[in-house]
């Protein structure tokens, strides 16, 4: 006897289905073929709704913990028509097969953004790689349409990527570059263009990259007029720097407290003491610092001594080997902060010596006080050594020396 086999759809409909089935048996008796039809059986298939799509944002990164994935080529459909998404500037030559990716909780304006949507409803044919379009919407009014492509046949995971750029300037919908606002938390909304339904919303923090602060090592005050040059440590030559869009040239030498204009005409105003190099390729760099007079570099202040100071915004200074002219290794698009301490010579100290009597006889005890003063109350003088050479006719009484009323044992030469 033959048993009928019923195949259900790979992805069930959201409405219940009624399936009817009648079996037929056939057999031969001599030269005669006989058949018998069974009764008809009906049953209802109740199909649960498919799970909702899962949206994730990813960024290119070679940091520890990054995952590897092959990204399909992405098509952006803008005002100029469909075109492949290509990487320029600092991201030119970026590998997509494979790509090294991390979840994008934060990016810098100008770096590509990878979009992943896991959904079974768009896995139309399990035997082929499916695609579908999404519309990316940001709060500043930008709308960019790209095609997401299934990572493999029947995977249900769809990937694509798009370039980003800083806003301002104002967003231009359909230019195939997603405008994001530095310093803001942006909701990136994806709309399924075939149905108009929202796929999901993910928050990604768009970072401004104040690369660091040049500051007075005595009091933490910003120092304007410091010339900062970033050089490639392997060649000793000025590094190639890109602006916020990741494409425009940016000066490798800047002066703190001034403004800088990149190759695209974008103006970057620097607040007091700050320097910034928005984008560089991965590599090892160092900072060449020329401070304004009377400051000197590198500082002789230790990280422990600088830890007592705070930045103007109330945060702690970030002190690293690069703060003293050491190397800086950039292996990830995440911002790197290196604050630069500068030493300023202190003002003249005051030194006075007073005795308890103007005249003394042999054997008398004479008390005297040495006072050191720092007229500049805004900065520490650092360690001070006081030397006092007594006349030959005098002897220092043991255990009689005090510093701020605390007994001390002096060093006797």
pLDDT in tens, 36-69: 888 888 877 666 677 888 889 999 887 778 899 9
Q: Is the pLDDT of residue 127 over 70?
A: yes
pLDDT band at 9 (very low <50, low <70, confident <90, very high): very low
pLDDT at 196: 54
- Please tell me the distance from the alpha carbon of residue 332 to that of residue 214, in angstroms, as a whole number: 23
pLDDT band at 6 (very low <50, low <70, confident <90, very high): very low
**Predicted confidence (pLDDT) per residue in 268-312, tens digit:** 999 999 999 988 888 899 999 999 999 999 999 999 999 999 999
Parallel, antiparallel, or unpaired: how do β-strands 340-342 and 212-216 relate?
A: parallel
Query: Average pLDDT in the 374-390 region?
Result: 76
Least confident span in 185-189, 192-196, 406-410? 192-196
Q: How far is CA 173 from CA 108, 177, 211, 243, in A?
A: 20, 8, 30, 21
Q: What is d(CA 115, CA 160) in angstroms, rounded to the nearest whole number?
A: 5
Question: Quick check: 284 and 233 in contact, CB under 8 A?
Answer: yes
pTM comes to 0.63
For 84-108, write each residue's pLDDT tens digit: 999 988 888 889 999 999 898 778 8
Q: Are 110 and 244 in contact (CB under 8 A)?
A: yes
Closest CA to 317 of 307, 331, 328: 307
Q: Could you give the angle at the alpha carbon of 114 between the alpha carbons of 111 and 120, nearest 5°?
A: 170
N residues, the chain: 413
Q: Between 24 and 186, where is the model more confident?
A: 24
- What is the helix (H) or strand (E) element at residue 55, kind and residue range? strand 54-60
Tokens of 144: 């960019």
How does DSSP classify residue 390?
A: -
330: Cα within 13 Å, side-chain hemisphere: 25
Using 50, 70 and 90 to split pLDDT, how confident is the model at 342?
A: very high
pLDDT value at residue 378 = 65
Output the DSSP codes for 84-103. E----GGGTT---TTEEEEE
Are 317 and 272 in contact, with CB atoms under 8 Å apart?
A: no
How far apart are alpha carbons 88 and 267 in whole angstroms?
Answer: 21
List, in order, residues 6 or more apart from 156 with CB less than 8 Å away.
Answer: 118, 119, 120, 122, 123, 150
Q: What φ, ψ does residue 324 adopt, rounded to 5°?
A: -115, 15
For residue 210, how many other CB atoms are within 10 A of its CB? 16
Burial of 158 (0-12, 13-18, 19+ CB in 10 A): buried
Answer yes or no: are the C-beta atoms of 148 and 159 closer than 8 Å. Answer: yes
The helix/strand/coil state of 303 is helix
What's the confidence (pLDDT) of residue 193? 54
275: buried, middle or exposed (CB in 10 Å: 19+, 13-18, 0-12)? buried
């Amino acid at each position: 006897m033959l048993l009928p086999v019923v195949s259900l759809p790979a992805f069930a409909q959201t409405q219940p289905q009624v399936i009817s089935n009648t079996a037929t048996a056939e057999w031969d008796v001599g030269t005669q073929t006989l058949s018998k039809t069974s009764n008809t059986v009906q049953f209802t298939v109740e199909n649960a709704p498919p799970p909702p799509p899962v949206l994730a944002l990813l960024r290119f990164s070679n940091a520890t913990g990054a995952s590897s994935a092959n990204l399909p080529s992405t098509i952006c459909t803008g005002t100029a028509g469909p075109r492949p998404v290509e990487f320029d500037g600092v991201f030119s030559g970026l590998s997509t097969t494979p790509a090294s990716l991390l979840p994008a909780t934060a990016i810098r304006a100008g770096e590509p953004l990878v979009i992943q949507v896991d959904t079974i409803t768009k896995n139309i044919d399990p035997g082929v790689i499916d695609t579908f379009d999404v519309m990316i919407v940001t709060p500043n009014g930008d709308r960019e349409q790209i095609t997401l492509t299934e990572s493999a046949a029947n995977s249900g995971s769809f990937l694509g990527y798009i370039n980003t750029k800083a806003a301002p300037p104002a967003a231009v919908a359909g230019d195939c570059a997603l405008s994001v606002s530095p310093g803001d938390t942006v909701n990136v909304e994806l709309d399924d263009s075939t149905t108009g339904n929202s796929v999901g919303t993910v928050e990604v923090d768009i970072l401004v990259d104040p690369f660091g602060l040049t500051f007075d090592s005595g009091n933490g005050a910003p120092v304007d007029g410091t010339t900062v040059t970033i050089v490639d440590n392997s060649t000793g030559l000025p590094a190639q720097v890109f602006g916020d869009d990741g494409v425009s040239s940016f000066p490798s030498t800047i002066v703190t407290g001034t403004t800088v204009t990149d190759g695209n005409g974008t103006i970057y105003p620097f607040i007091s003491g700050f320097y910034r190099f928005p984008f560089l390729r991965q590599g090892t760099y160092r900072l060449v610092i020329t401070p304004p007079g009377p400051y000197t570099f590198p500082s002789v202040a230790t990280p422990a001594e600088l830890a007592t100071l705070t930045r103007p915004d109330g945060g702690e200074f970030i002190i690293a080997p690069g703060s003293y002219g050491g190397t800086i290794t950039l292996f990830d698009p995440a911002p790197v902060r290196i604050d630069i301490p500068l030493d300023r010579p202190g003002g003249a100290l005051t030194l006075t010596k007073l005795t308890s009597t103007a005249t003394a006889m042999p054997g008398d005890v004479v008390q005297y006080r040495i006072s050191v003063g720092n007229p500049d109350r805004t900065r520490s003088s650092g360690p001070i050594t006081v030397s006092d050479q007594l006349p030959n006719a005098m002897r220092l009484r043991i255990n009689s020396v005090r510093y701020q009323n605390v007994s001390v044992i002096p060093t006797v030469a």
